[in-house]
Amino acid sequence: MAATSGKLRPPFRLLLLLLAAAVARSVDGVELTLLTGAREKGTVCLDGSPPGYHLQRGFGSGEHSWFIHLQGGAWCNTIEDCSKRKMSAYGSSKFMRAVEFNGILSNDQQLNSDFYNWNRVFIRYCDGASFSGDGEAQDQDGSTLHFRGLRIWEAVINELMGKGLATAKQAILSGCSAGGLAALLHCNDFYARFSKEVSAKCLPDAGFFLDIEDLSGERHMWSVFNGTVHLQNVTQVLSKDCLAKKDPTECFFPAELVKSITAPTLILNSAYDSWQIQNALAPDGSFPGQSWSSCKTDIRNCSSTQIQVFNGFRNKFVDDIEVVKDKKDWGLFIDSCFTHCQTPFDISWNSQASPVLGNKTVAEAIGDWYFERSYEVKEIDCEYPEIDHPVHHPPRTCSVHTRAAATGEMPILPRRRYAEPLLLLLLAAVARSTAAAPDVVELILLTGAQEKGAVCLDGSPPGYHLQRGFGSGEHSWLVFLEGGAWCNSIESCSRRKMGVYGSSKFMKAAEFNGILSNDQQLNSDFYNWNKVAIRYCDGASFSGDAEAQDKDGSTLHFRGLRIWEAVVDELMGKGLATAKQAILSGCSAGGLAALLHCNDFHARFPKEVSAKCLPDAGFFLDVEDLSGERHMWSVFNGTVHLQNVREVLSKDCLTKKDPTECFFPAELVKSITAPTLILNSAYDSWQMDPFLDSHGPVAKLTFGIAVPHKSKNKFVDDVEIVKDKKDWGLFIDSCFTHCQTPFNISWSSQASPVLGSKTVAEAVGDWYFERSYEVKEIDCEYPCNPTCSSQLPT
């Protein structure tokens, strides 16, 4: 069957529509309520009309629980801007209509299990200063512009107090974008309205705006906020302590606001906030020609240099929220998705396409934080593009893209650079909804880690997840090493120790999917084995043994080798020593680790035990990128020397070659004696992207498919030695993907890659259990395989 083009064939379009219709739900419109006696109170929108809100009453167990959401929609900071604004729903209730309640406002129990039956209120935004101003000015036509956001806030809340909010037992103040900023501005006032027995908290969504220079060196957000603060007189809502030391405009920024907030608060935001990138970092006029136009509207179109600029934005964001990390009862959910506002939309709030951090969707994380079901929820995602993380969360969870909350535009599912097409995303969602629910497996911290010197980068104990086998799998073990790139400098390791890849302080329970799944239908060969996922927190593929001084004077612990030895020793005491069947596997950097430790793993068992290795997406190539640089050599060279990984390298190799060369799989496989199956894509997406991106998107158009084919040929050359190795296997497909064992859709589903008439799961099972004479499959050149569900970037 020929490979399909980018357009969906009619049967697939029909299936798409059927799937979309199947998951669609009806949403009731909630009518607008205008504030009583607004004009008498001087509580009016920009044009003098009464403000409004939408109230949907709670019921059952939610009868005395209230959720208040403040609408967002940018600001007006000049007479001209405010004059235009008053002619729309963002400045006049004359243009307001009924609204649909979605996401965190939804009454759908399945979608919004924690808050569906609460009293839910959506307060409309019609003042242009985040519900904070108190002034007025003459419009260009001689009429009055009313800057009464503070009065609107007070009057609407007072009216709601009379409608039951005063007797609430649980309450949340939230908001999106400019409404998220408003939630910060009014958080203390909201919290103070309730007795101590009431669980009142704040949830600003996409409201953490940064004071940064744009591409031209101008402070665009400062200019917007400065005009708003002085035009609309917002000083009454600002911190007195801040005003005593700083300019009112600086006090309007969240970095200052959070210092004075005493109420429990969770900051929900993207570190690559799409609205801020488009309007604050790269506003029109801040760059020459069209150099940033496509990048700032779609991060997939950015060059590696432009991504570095975005990473600078992210670093500023992480610095500004540093104060929150030590605040008791506070929370953080900072993802790396190119999006803006995540609570008001079904798809980003709680769906198969919701961003996931700490193994939790946005909805799950907020529920756990509010109801204190977790010790804490303080999650900060890795840099874009997110590292594939098969245990912590599936890769490519950043599938929501909203263009600008100010327009009220609903989020869409884009054709993503790293994601399957929408059809496959829907298929995966349906598959997950009909399959057995994956078990959530708790984290186990290594016993006596500090005494053994077996610690993560920050000195915390390493961890693993163990799911016990049963029945015929009681004495069979699958050990899976987590991946997640490397750190090859003091600076990169210092950043890494502040997340799950460098500290167990940030680790949570994990879902087991793919080869780790307990679903017999999905994972028939290994579902009832003892399954272990060892978390990755050293940054050198579980191989280093050294330490260094961090920039702040603390110690960076490079103890990956000790972690490997100590965790496996502990598992030996828990039953691994009596295994009759055992597999060492891992994905990405964990796949490389499986190669590095394969001989040691195999040597721990007597000859009667079938112990084998299964590195997935761990075969990294030493190739030149389009600029002639050896990118992976540079990464590995820094890692090898900084973290002292010589102990795990082949002695034969070290006598002839540089340690960095000995760290590459092409050399490692020469010394491995244990039966091993190399599972990899010859067009590995993680490796291909830096390779192609050295010259940005233009290079992809210029060099076309020929460059990836050269990379594929290099890959085939490097695995040539495996073809003659007895008991070894190969499953080298031509799909643009990275890591295939830990995900249901690529492991064993209708969308799994197929070689030799076998899915990934079938090929691995046949190789391990020796049901076939041999499994050594190398795919043809792209785009020959119609079962590949991913496409090369265009």
Phi and psi at residue 707, to the nearest 5°? -65, -50
CA distance 464 to 443: 6
CA distance 743 to 745: 6
Contacts with 603 (C-beta within 8 Å, 6 or more apart), sequence order: none
Contacts with 38 (C-beta within 8 Å, 6 or more apart), sequence order: 44, 50, 51, 155
3-state secondary structure 291-356: CCHHHHHCHHHCCHHHHHHHHHHHHHHHHHCHHHHHCCCCEEEEECCCCCCCCCCHHHHCCCCCCE
User: Considering only CA atoms, which of 585, 482, 515, 555 is closest in space to residue 744?
Assistant: 515
Residue for token pair 């890795």: 382
Specify burial of residue 298 (Cβ count, 10 A radius: 0-12, 13-18, 19+): middle
- In total, the chain counts a number of residues equal to 794
Dihedral, 420, 425, 431, 432 alpha carbons, nearest 10: 100
Catalytic residue among 340, 602, 631, 738: 340
CA distance 250 to 256: 7
Catalytic residue among 93, 177, 399, 588: 177
CA distance 761 to 614: 12
Q: What angle do CA 173, 179, 183 make, to 5 degrees?
A: 35
Cis preceding linkage at 385, omega within 30: yes
User: Considering only CA atoms, which of 726, 724, 723, 718 is closest in space to residue 675?
Assistant: 726
Residue for token pair 């744009």: 214
Strand partners, 401: 412
C-beta neighbour count of 263 within 10 angstroms: 17
Catalytic residue among 273, 458, 622, 693: 273
Backbone Cα Rg of the chain? 28
- The structure tokens listed for 238 are 């600002």
Q: Is 247 a catalytic residue?
A: no
- The structure tokens listed for 123 are 């307060």
The strand pair at 476-481 and 199-205 is best described as unpaired
Q: Is 340 a catalytic residue?
A: yes
Which residues participate in catalysis according to the annotation? 177, 273, 340
